[in-house]
Chains A and B, each alone.
Chain A
Amino acid sequence: MDDVRMVERVVDTDARDIKFQCKDVQVFYGEKHAIKDVSVDLLDKTVTAFIGPSGCGKSTFLRCLNRMNDTIGIARVQGRMLLDGEDIYDRRVDPVQLRARVGMVFQKPNPFPKSIYDNVAYGPRIHGLARNRAELDEIVEKALRGAALWNEVKDRLGETGTGLSGGQQQRLCIARAVATAPEVLLMDEPCSALDPIATAQVEELIDELRATFSVVIVTHSMQQAARVSQKTAFFHLGNLVEYGDTDDIFTRPRDPRTESYISGRIG
């Protein structure tokens, strides 16, 4: 039974388009060589998980995909990262516009100290996605539904986002990211601050988001990677050790380092 599903998935992902094409990417933090020669193709409408021990560079690599590393003065990126064939580190690309296309959800829920409505409407307002209040209402509702939060908050959209529970806050942050209508959604350990129930809700949500976006998730939990992703990349000491279908990585890893990590011997 499991084998049948696995085969389906493989065929499934092969048919997808490449969203992000990364070639020989190097990242330096000052003197430290944080990412070494990473080449990877991330697929559209697919959940890709980055796993690896702490400090292996997976978060760093994720933050390159929307140029959040630019906000850290000492970070330098070399190599090519193509989003739909266009180099995002090209001089003509405005990182601000890039980030509207590549949204991000952080490890710790970080709702703005504004109302729930204003949190979700923040991106659409900045980017002028709605022509009037009715359209904005519609976008907010759609985003909150998309983040499986609408039913819980629809009667209190005016209350502050920081008053929600941890899991609700994280879903609010996902709704906020979704409302900007990005093409790619990056998630940096989105469940590490959540309890198991909230984690399950968010994971379910990630699976639904796959229909619309390309999702890249960094996670410490191998179970989570196995549950939500179709593709998995294993990072170790700044190298991309192995990248492939999630089922392959977890059942028959090719590299001994991957094998020892998923069996719990390193990391």
Chain B
Amino acid sequence: MSPFWITIAILALAALGYLLGRSRSVRLAGGDTRALHSRPTYHGWHVALFTALPALVLLALARLLQAPGWLAPAALALGVAGLAVALSRTAPQFRARNVVEQVVRGILIVCSLIAIATTVAIVLSLVFESLRFFRMYPWQDFFFGTEWTPSFGGGSELGMLPLLWGTLYISLIALLVAVPVGLYAAIYMSEYATPRVRSVVKPAIEVLAGIPTIVYGLFALVTVGPLLRDWIAQPLGLGSSGSSVMTAGLVMGMMLIPFVSSLSDDIINAVPQSLRDGSLAMGSTHSETIRQVVLPAALPGIVGAVLLAASRAIGETMIVVLGAGAMARISPNPFEAMTTITVKIVGQLTGDNDFASPETLVAFALGLTLFVMTLGLNVLALYIVRKYREQYE
């Protein structure tokens, strides 16, 4: 029997266990369910959980460890055993409800542990591969080198500064677009818009958040890039490249607008109405109230929102590939093609890879750098947002 059918069989057994457990508890109570400690449903779930859980765990372990084939039928046998044990425990005074709740709590804990374990695993894999890289390539040259010329034949320069420059430059432009526009949109929605306008505008802005970034990238490549080149860069003599920091930054900024506006909107709405009333009652206008009372009160939260947007910007890849090109260089001119850390990670890992060469392994060092940067921003953002929460609760 294949593991798939065994799983189905175990689940069917559990369903049977549910029915058996429920009816047995009713029968033991002599038909009067009030005599039971737990309601019949809990007795049913108790039997079902004891049938399914140990068997499924065993089955999963058997698959993972590639244990011999007889373990799979053994899982089915374990399910039958669990069913029998649980059924025999069923009694009017048996606390099935408490047992079921404890098991459910255990499942919840395991799920959250899986999320944490994933993070740890990712970090560990990054760290170990990065360490391998730094054994082959001096860390000073990586962190402080200004040349990025990887060549798989050897003799590559793998300085990350040009990539860091591109990343920060593009993110900065993106934030310069997204923060004012997003924030002003949020102020309009939360302070001025009537409920009817708001119910239309807010979802409309949030549609932006649902567009895949590759589509934004196409928009940058086909529309924004040529537009900037023909109307601004060339007339001003700043360059003739369709891909530029400005293109990627602008489009990335558009992508971040719903991020900033949606979070800021929630935060501004969380400012108590009593503060607005207090300010209005002293004869200040609506806009004075917003500038001097509402925004300062919401500021920590807004800063948090901006930092979250920044970490999105730093980690963005697709818009940069299509909008800014793949040239690693340090230049102040925003109309030149540049590139970012994320793009180069993709670049180093596509094609035929030799996972023993520094040219490939550098991707992990870059990934680790990126991870540390965004982690730092996120931690800072969460810290600020949390501090803000304490103020009103």
A residues near B (Cβ < 8 Å) are 66, 68, 71, 73, 96-101, 103-104, 106, 108, 110-114, 122-123, 126-127, 162, 173, 176-177, 180
Contacts and interface: CB of A to CB of B under 8 A. Distances in A.
Of B194, B280, B281, B297, chain A has the most CB atoms within 10 Å of the CB of: B281
Given A113-B297, A126-B288, A162-B391, A99 B283 contact: yes
Contact of B283 (A71, A106, A123): A123
A114 B194 CA distance: 29
Given A71-B277, A122-B284, 13 more contacts: A68-B281, A96-B284, A96-B285, A103-B281, A103-B282, A110-B275, A113-B297, A122-B279, A123-B282, A126-B282, A126-B283, A176-B278, A177-B282
Contacts of A97: 283
Given A106-B274, A112-B293, A114-B296, A71 B280 contact: yes
B297 A66 contact: no
Contacts of B281: 66, 68, 99, 103-104, 106, 177
Contacts of B391: 113, 162
B282 A99 contact: yes
B194 to A, nearest CB: 8
A99 B286 CA distance: 12
B279 to A, nearest CB: 7
B275 A68 contact: no
A100 B282 contact: yes
B277 A106 contact: yes
27 contacts: A71-B277, A96-B284, A96-B285, A97-B283, A98-B283, A99-B283, A101-B283, A106-B274, A108-B274, A110-B272, A112-B278, A112-B279, A112-B297, A113-B275, A113-B297, A113-B391, A114-B296, A122-B284, A122-B293, A123-B283, A123-B284, A126-B284, A126-B288, A126-B292, A176-B282, A177-B281, A180-B282
Interface of B: 194, 272, 274-275, 277-285, 288, 292-293, 296-297, 391
Contacts of B277: 68, 71, 104, 106, 110
Contacts of B274: 106, 108, 110
B278 A106 contact: yes
Nearest to A70: B280
B228 to A, nearest CB: 42
Of A103, A108, A113, chain B has the most CB atoms within 10 Å of the CB of: A113
Tell me whether chain A's interface is mostly helix, strand or loop, or mixed: helix
Contacts of A104: 277, 281-282
Nearest to B274: A110
B296 A96 contact: no
Nearest to A109: B274
B192 to A, nearest CB: 12
B277 to A, nearest CB: 6
A139 B172 CA distance: 44
Nearest to A111: B278
A160 to B, nearest CB: 9
Contacts of B194: 73
6 A-B pairs closest in CB distance: A100-B283, A104-B281, A110-B274, A99-B283, A110-B278, A123-B282
A100 B285 CA distance: 11
A245 B279 CA distance: 33
B301 to A, nearest CB: 12
Contacts of B282: 99-100, 103-104, 122-123, 126, 176-177, 180
Nearest to A113: B297
A71 B289 CA distance: 13
A98 B285 CA distance: 11
A255 to B, nearest CB: 32
A123 to B, nearest CB: 4
B279 A96 contact: no
A176 B285 CA distance: 16
Contacts of A177: 281-282
Contacts of A103: 281-282
A31 B205 CA distance: 34
A108 B284 CA distance: 20
Of B272, B277, B288, B293, chain A has the most CB atoms within 10 Å of the CB of: B277
A176 B274 CA distance: 14
Nearest to A173: B278
B387 to A, nearest CB: 12
Nearest to B298: A113
A66 B391 CA distance: 29
A111 B392 CA distance: 12
A122 B288 CA distance: 11
Contacts of B275: 110, 112-113
Nearest to A98: B283
